[in-house]
Every structure is written in structure tokens, then in C-alpha cells.
Amino acid sequence: MTAEPTLKPERPFFSSGPTAKHKGWSASNLKTESLGRSHRSALGKSRLKYAIDLSKEMLGVPEDYLVGIMPASDTGALECAMWTMLRPDRPATVAAWESFGNVWIQDAVKQLKLPKLTTLDADYGEIPDLASIPQENDVVFTWNGTTSGAKIPNTDWLAEGREGVTINDATSAVFAMEMDWAKLDATTYSWQKVMGSEAQHGMLILSPKAVNRIEEYDPQWPLPKLFRLKKGDKINRGIFEGATINTPSMLATEDYIDALEWAQAMGGRKAMFERADANAKIVLDWIESTPWLRNMVSDPAKRTNTGVCFVFQGDWYDSLSDEDKAGVPKKIVKLLEDRDVGYDFNGYRDAPPSLRIWCGGTVEQEDLKRLLPWIEWAYEQVKNG
């Protein structure tokens, strides 16, 4: 049997959300002047606006787009976009290929009850035929499937100037993959994904076309206060200048600012892309060279560079019952968590039995290199009882 490895990751944080803090992070480095102050104070509002402005700059968002902080993480931001922009009198398509995308389908079917709705779905690791979506349809999709590791390979299926609005859940893609802003009308993400920041706040990025849709349309369904983006008949631009809809956590805001400033010092979003690509290559190459593993995504062009998901294969694994198959990744994770080698890298609860290693830019290459031999060792322990 393989000997137990000796080197452990210095930072054993491989969860796909909340994700690892950046190297060198310390709570003592966070600015605290805004804590205990009103978020409506000049200081509080200035820090919120700084988080917005720095996000917009870092992501290369066009100047005429609006960026705002929303409650309830990416979920709140995405549902706000759906509830304020999708119209019963217009055709819409919601495309999903993993757990969260299927939540947006349920919203459209069971909550909004859109009469002209088409849904597209695919199994874990696959992507539906996005080119089949008519350009006049409003569209909701997930850029990168956090629970399957499948991302869209390109935006060729979206025509520039298309009639429908495009709503993009980019929570595990932003800061790891370049966004094609010209083709996106509402884009959402959360602080606790690629930036490794604290949870509960989401970001909503709106194109001028999205703003026009919101201003010209009053939904027939009741809108919770948390989704109300308008003041009178116009969009409430204060939301996009730091006047949040409800009270934000200023501590979480300062943590997000810290992550943004770290990424900026590292070289900005391009450097974050390169870090994620390099991290993912380590894991992807290892999967390809390990005969008892298989990437959940068969097409290399659709494989993520953030939450890499992989399943087991081979005679021993295939001979197990479904219950025992599900137990394999759980046992591997427990063996390594008990030894403080790697935390929270089991596959998503609704996904096939699998492991999922986060490779975003806040993770260090050396920690990934040290983790992989431990997984091999743990697999042998589980296989040999």
C-alpha cells in the first residue's frame, strides 16, 4: 500500500463556497472604522460605494452599466433580476445543467408561472443545446456550474443586440473567467465564491437594456422589498451608489474590499484568471493520469477552472452498491479532514458521488500539489478496508 504522505497543505481550504481566503489574509488587516456606524453615514456609504467602484473597475464592466450590492448573496441578486425583468407576455428560456440552475427553473415554473416558458436541462457534466434558444427569448443561464464543473465554452449562441434580455448567474465564474459584457444584461455573483470573502451579499450588474426593461415594466406579481429596484417609474440609482436596499454587514464589506485590493495588487482580474487556470491544470492533469478517476465533464472545452468535479470508475468501484459508492468520497473526505489535510471537498449533495476541488485564484498551487497524493492514499485506505 502507498505510504501516508508527509507534506500537508499549508492552507487546507478547498471548499467551493465559501472558498479559501487569500494567502496572508488576517482579520487584523481589515479596516474597522465603518463598524458600529450606520451604513447610511457618509463613511459607511463611501465604503460601500468603494466596493462597488472597485468591483466595476476590476471586472472591466462598461461605464454605462450599473453595479449594486444586493441582499441574500447571488441567490437574492439573481432572483431579483428574474422577478423584475421576466414578463409573462414574452417568451423566455431558462437553461440548467446543475443544481442551482434547476432552482432558477423552479422559480420560473412554480413561482413566476411564465406562460411562454421553455426550459432546457442536461445531466451533470453536460450542457444543453444553447444554440437552440431563439434570439427573441429572454434567457436565464448559469455561466459556470458550481456543482457539476461544466461551464459554457463561449457566448457564440448569444447574438449581440439580441431582442431578449440575458440574465447570467456568474457566481463561480466572475474573477476566474472573462465576461462578455456586450451580450449580458443582468449578471450576478456573490462575494464568497472566487474572491473568498464573507457570505450573504450579492452583486447585480445591469446593462442599459436591463435598466430600460426594469423601468418600462411593472410585474403583475407582488415584489418583496428586497427586490424593489425602482423609485417611482425610474430605477433607484442610489442602490448602485452604495445606498443598499437593506442593512449590509460592514464587516463583510471590509472583508470583500480586502480581497479586491489583494487581487488588484496581484495584477487584477487577468492575474486571477491565470491563477485559476494554473490551479485547475494541476488537478485536471492529475485526474487524466489517475485511472480510477474521471472528470465529471467529458468535453475539455466545457471544463471549469474553479470547482473541478470528478467521479470514480474502475472494476472495484463499479462493483459496489449505490449506497457504498456514495460512501467512497465521504470516507476520503473524512480521512483527510481528520488529519487537517483538506476541508470540504466532497461533491455537492445533489450531484453524483464525487469530489470537488476548488481551484480559484485564492488557492495556492503548492497546496493543491500536496493535497492530491493524500487523496490517492485515502482512496487506497477506503478500497482496502
Question: pLDDT for 330-382, tens place per residue?
Answer: 999 999 999 999 999 999 999 999 999 999 999 999 999 999 999 999 999 99
Question: pLDDT for 291-311, tens place per residue?
Answer: 999 999 999 999 999 999 999
| Cis-peptide, bond into residue 18, ω within 30° of zero | yes
Concatenate the DSSP letters of all residues of 164-214 into one string: S-EEEE-TTTTTTS---GGG-SEEEEETTSTT---SSEEEEEE-HHHHHHH
> What are the structural domains, with CATH classification, of the chain?
27-264 (3.40.640.10), 268-384 (3.90.1150.10)
**pLDDT for 64 beyond 90:** yes
**pLDDT for 185 beyond 90:** yes
How far are the Cα atoms of 159, 211, 224, 245, 292 from residue 214, in angstroms, in the given order? 21, 5, 15, 16, 50
Q: The whole model's pTM is what?
A: 0.97
Q: Enumerate helices (H) and strands (E) in the chain, giving the number of each.
A: 9, 12
